[in-house]
Copies of this chain bind each other. A is one copy, B any other.
Amino acid sequence: MSMQESSGVALWRQVADGIERGIADGRFAAGEKLPGEMEIAETYRVNRHTVRRALAALAERGLVRAERGSGTYVEAQRLAYPLRSRTRFSEIVGAGGHEPRGQLIDASSDTANREIARELGLKIGAPLIRIEAVRLADRTPICVSTTWLSAERFPDAGSVFANVRSMTKLLGHYGVKDYHRASTRITAAIVDATDAARLDLPLGRPVLVVDATDVDMLDQPLVTKRSRFAAERVEFLVENG
């Protein structure tokens, strides 16, 4: 069968636009499996290779993700993550209509190096508790963070976090009613092997690395942490002014 008209818009682009419209208007929900390439080819009356071209274009933009042997899936919308003074993972994720989850990976003892000592207002070598945790929205890992707290001020913080699975609740357990972000530094890197496994992320993908320190209402440092966000799953929003 021949082209009926030369519209000046490539077939693969027409297919890609059609699928994108389907995603935008919810006909294909986030995380859902698209029809097979063959089926798409039939509905649009084009060759399977043309469909693959369309899907490749969508994949490059992060709208879909192909899994060999399984299917092509609609990528979850990037989580909008506003960077405000008051930054609570659970609140941000909940506001996005997702269920926030936290999962303890490891809690151990550590001692303050110079940077952490400066951030927390402690002496170098001061006893610390280091908490490794992964935080998820619904079932999707969003970030892994390494959090350091003073072992003197927050004794046994590791087992407390294992129970409450939320930094906000952990601090509340120690009588901290409120806290806010004192400083935030953002860089990017390639995910390392251990983080890749924890984030369920292929090797080679970029992560957003966030170094942050939270303080209480008297500006006393509470915790400092380094979080690694799967770049393709979040979008930081900086609020100016």
Contact = CB atoms under 8 A, between A and B. Distances in A.
A1 to B, nearest CB: 20
Interface in A1-32: 7-10, 12-14, 16
A10 B14 CA distance: 12
**Interface on chain A toward B: helix, strand, loop, or mixed SS?**
helix
A41 interface: no
Contacts of A16: 8
A57 B12 CA distance: 21
Nearest to A12: B8
Number of copies: 2
Contacts of A9: 8-10, 13
A68 B10 CA distance: 31
Interface residues of A, number: 9
A10 B13 CA distance: 11
Contacts of A57: 8
A183 to B, nearest CB: 37
A54 to B, nearest CB: 9
A185 B110 CA distance: 92
A7 B16 CA distance: 11
A8 B16 CA distance: 10
A11 to B, nearest CB: 9
Count chain B CB atoms within 10 A of each CB in A8, A13, A14, A57 and give the residue with the most. A8
A9 B17 CA distance: 12
A32 B8 CA distance: 26
Nearest to A8: B13
Contacts of A10: 8-10
Nearest to A13: B8
Nearest to A9: B9
Contacts of A13: 7-9
Interface of A: 7-10, 12-14, 16, 57
Given A8-B12, A9-B9, A9-B13, 5 more contacts: A8-B9, A8-B10, A8-B13, A8-B14, A9-B10
12 contacts: A7-B13, A8-B9, A8-B10, A8-B12, A8-B13, A8-B14, A8-B16, A8-B57, A9-B9, A9-B10, A9-B13, A10-B10
